[in-house]
Amino acid sequence: MSFEKNLTEIEYSPVLGRYLVASEAVSESDVLIEEYPFAYGPKLSSPVVCLGCFVPVNCNLDGFRCPKCGWPLCQDCIISDGAEVHQKECEVFKSANAKFYVIKDDEYRKRNECVQLDCVMPLRVLLNKEIDPERWEREVAPMEYHDQSRRQMTEVWNADLVNIAQYLRGPCKLDRFSEDLIMRVVGILEVNAFEGRTSHGHTIRCLYPKTGILAHNCVPNTARSIYPSDRFRIRLRAMKDLKAGQQLHHSYTFTLNGTAARQEHIRNGKFFTCRCARCSDPTELGTYFSSFKCISCDLGFLSSIDPFDSTADWRCNHCRFTTPAEGILKNISTMQAEVADVQAMDMSPERLQECEALLRKYRMILHPSHYIQTSLKQSLIEMYGRVHGYEMVELPDILLERKEELCRQVLGVLNVFEPGLSRARAMLLYELHVPLVLLAKSGFIAKVLSLSNLKERIQEAVSILEESVSILKYEDPSSQEGLLGRVASKALESLKLSIEAM
Min separation Cβ 326 and Zn ion, Å: 19
Instruction: Confirm or reject binding of residue 156 to Zn ion (CB under 5 A).
Output: no
Min separation Cβ 68 and Zn ion, Å: 4
Q: Which is nearer to Zn ion, 279 or 454 (CB)?
A: 279
The window from 168-176, 309-317, 330-338, 357-365 that contacts Zn ion (CB under 5 A) reads: 309-317
Q: Which is nearer to Zn ion, 218 or 372 (CB)?
A: 218
Spell out the residues 6+ positions from residue 438 whose beta carbon is closer than 8 angstroms to its own: 392, 393, 395, 400
Residues in 82-111 that interact with Zn ion by CB under 5 A: 90
- 452: Cα separation from own chain's centroid: 41
Q: What count of Cα atoms within 13 Å lies in the side-chain half-sphere of residue 143?
A: 28
Three-state DSSP at 30 gives coil
Instruction: Confirm or reject binding of residue 114 to Zn ion (CB under 5 A).
Output: no
Instruction: Confirm or reject binding of residue 296 to Zn ion (CB under 5 A).
Output: yes
Min separation Cβ 165 and Zn ion, Å: 22
Instruction: Confirm or reject binding of residue 419 to Zn ion (CB under 5 A).
Output: no
Q: Which is nearer to Zn ion, 50 or 426 (CB)?
A: 50
Are 378 and 410 a contacting pair, CB within 8 Å? yes
Residue 203, beta-bridge partner list: 197
Instruction: Confirm or reject binding of residue 69 to Zn ion (CB under 5 A).
Output: yes
Question: Rg for the chain (alpha carbons), in Å?
Answer: 25
Instruction: Confirm or reject binding of residue 316 to Zn ion (CB under 5 A).
Output: yes
Q: Cα(152)–Cα(449) distance, rounded to whole angstroms?
A: 67
Three-state DSSP at 207 gives strand
Instruction: Confirm or reject binding of residue 53 to Zn ion (CB under 5 A).
Output: yes
Angle, alpha carbons 308-247-143 (nearest 5°) = 80
Instruction: Confirm or reject binding of residue 279 to Zn ion (CB under 5 A).
Output: yes
Q: What count of Cα atoms within 13 Å lies in the side-chain half-sphere of residue 234?
A: 26
Min separation Cβ 59 and Zn ion, Å: 12
Instruction: Confirm or reject binding of residue 276 to Zn ion (CB under 5 A).
Output: yes
Min separation Cβ 71 and Zn ion, Å: 5
Min separation Cβ 69 and Zn ion, Å: 3
Instruction: Confirm or reject binding of residue 74 to Zn ion (CB under 5 A).
Output: yes
Min separation Cβ 219 and Zn ion, Å: 8
Instruction: Confirm or reject binding of residue 294 to Zn ion (CB under 5 A).
Output: yes
End-to-end distance of the chain based on CA atoms, in angstroms? 52
Instruction: Confirm or reject binding of residue 488 to Zn ion (CB under 5 A).
Output: no
Q: Which is nearer to Zn ion, 173 or 408 (CB)?
A: 173
Q: Cα(450)–Cα(456) distance, rounded to whole angstroms?
A: 10
The window from 42-50, 171-179, 243-251, 437-445 that contacts Zn ion (CB under 5 A) reads: 42-50
The window from 46-54, 325-333, 344-352, 468-476 that contacts Zn ion (CB under 5 A) reads: 46-54
- Tell me the site size for Zn ion, rule CB under 5 A: 21
Residue 237, beta-bridge partner list: 31, 223
Helix axes 371-383, 423-445, angle to 10 degrees: 60
Q: Cα(443)–Cα(156) distance, rounded to whole angstroms?
A: 60
Instruction: Confirm or reject binding of residue 204 to Zn ion (CB under 5 A).
Output: no
Q: Cα(428)–Cα(422) distance, rounded to whole angstroms?
A: 10
464 φ, ψ (degrees, to nearest 5) = -65, -45
Instruction: Confirm or reject binding of residue 215 to Zn ion (CB under 5 A).
Output: no
Q: Which is nearer to Zn ion, 194 or 474 (CB)?
A: 194
Instruction: Confirm or reject binding of residue 358 to Zn ion (CB under 5 A).
Output: no
Helix axes 423-445, 451-472, angle to 10 degrees: 160
The window from 32-40, 147-155, 271-279, 352-360 that contacts Zn ion (CB under 5 A) reads: 271-279
Q: Cα(174)–Cα(303) distance, rounded to whole angstroms?
A: 54
Pairing assessment for the beta strands 215-216 and 249-250 based on DSSP bridges: parallel
Instruction: Confirm or reject binding of residue 321 to Zn ion (CB under 5 A).
Output: yes
Q: Cα(478)–Cα(500) distance, rounded to whole angstroms?
A: 32
Min separation Cβ 291 and Zn ion, Å: 11
Min separation Cβ 257 and Zn ion, Å: 10
Sign for the pseudo-dihedral over CA of 462, 467, 470, 472: negative
Min separation Cβ 275 and Zn ion, Å: 7
Min separation Cβ 348 and Zn ion, Å: 33
Binding mask 224-243 for Zn ion (x = CB under 5 A): --------------------
Instruction: Confirm or reject binding of residue 136 to Zn ion (CB under 5 A).
Output: no
- 27: Cα separation from own chain's centroid: 24
CB atoms within 10 A of CB 395: 21
Question: Using CB under 5 A as the criterion, which residues of the chain lie in contact with Zn ion when the complex forms?
Answer: 50, 52-53, 66, 68-69, 74, 77, 90, 218, 274, 276, 279, 294, 296-297, 300, 316, 318-319, 321
